[in-house]
Amino acid sequence: MKVIPVYAIALLALAGLLPLNALAEQSENDLAKVGERIKQTGDQLRQEVKEARARFEAQKAREEAERKREAAERARQQAAEQAARERQRQAALEAQQEKARREAALKAEQAERERQAALAAAQRAAEAQRLRDEQAARERAALALQEARKTGPGGLNDPLRETPKQRAARLLREAKQSVGPRGLEDGL
């Protein structure tokens, strides 16, 4: 704000208020009074301009302070909102991780149950096979016993009563019968 045009306008306004012919008629004393009055008015105008400028600067400072306060408030609100969003994101992430951990634990438990069930089934199957094998062995032993009883005690075909010499002779005879006498001679 320039002060010089304001003073000029103020002086012109004062000059316009005074009638021109009154200035001519007034004496030197009156001119001194008018000059003094103009000086006082100028001083008063300067004082008012100074006060207006001070009010303007104060208003400008208040507005700047208000803008800074509003900017700080906006920044604080944005930071609070960002922190809230971050907390929500973190909580969602933790919930998701917890869910994944629970699902993994459930899958591991299910896999362990299935492994235990498969192991138990394999053990049951092995036990059943062992029992079948034992039963088959008993049946073969019973058939062998029946067969041995049919041939009678002390016979040449009785494997329970054979001596090593008898057994060797029997095996030789059986081999000769299956191959023939000529095949045995070629092999010896």
Which residues, other chains included, contact 179 with Cβ-Cβ below 8 Å and sequence gap of 6+?
187
Radius of gyration of the chain from its Cα atoms, rounded to whole angstroms: 65
pLDDT 10s digits, 86-115:
999 999 999 999 999 999 999 999 999 999
Residue with tokens 């000529």: 182
Q: Nearest 10 degrees: CA dihedral of 100, 106, 112, 117?
A: -140
The closest of 121, 131, 160 to 144, measured between CA atoms, is 160
pLDDT score recorded for residue 120: 94
CA triple 95-98-102, angle to 5 deg: 140
- pLDDT band at residue 139 using 50, 70 and 90 as cut-offs: confident
Rounded Cα gap, residues 13 and 6, in angstroms: 10
Mean pLDDT of 62-91: 95
Mean pLDDT across the chain:
81
Distances in Å between the Cα of 155 and the Cα atoms of 146, 147, 161, 167, 176 are 15, 12, 8, 12, 20
Lowest mean pLDDT among 32-36, 78-82, 155-159: 155-159
Residue 148, pLDDT > 80, answer no
Rounded Cα gap, residues 60 and 54, in angstroms: 10
Residue 18, pLDDT > 50, answer yes
pLDDT score recorded for residue 156: 46
Mean pLDDT of 133-142: 82
The closest of 10, 4, 19, 8 to 41, measured between CA atoms, is 10
Computed from CA positions of residues 145, 151, 152, 157, in that sequence, does the dihedral angle turn out positive or negative? negative
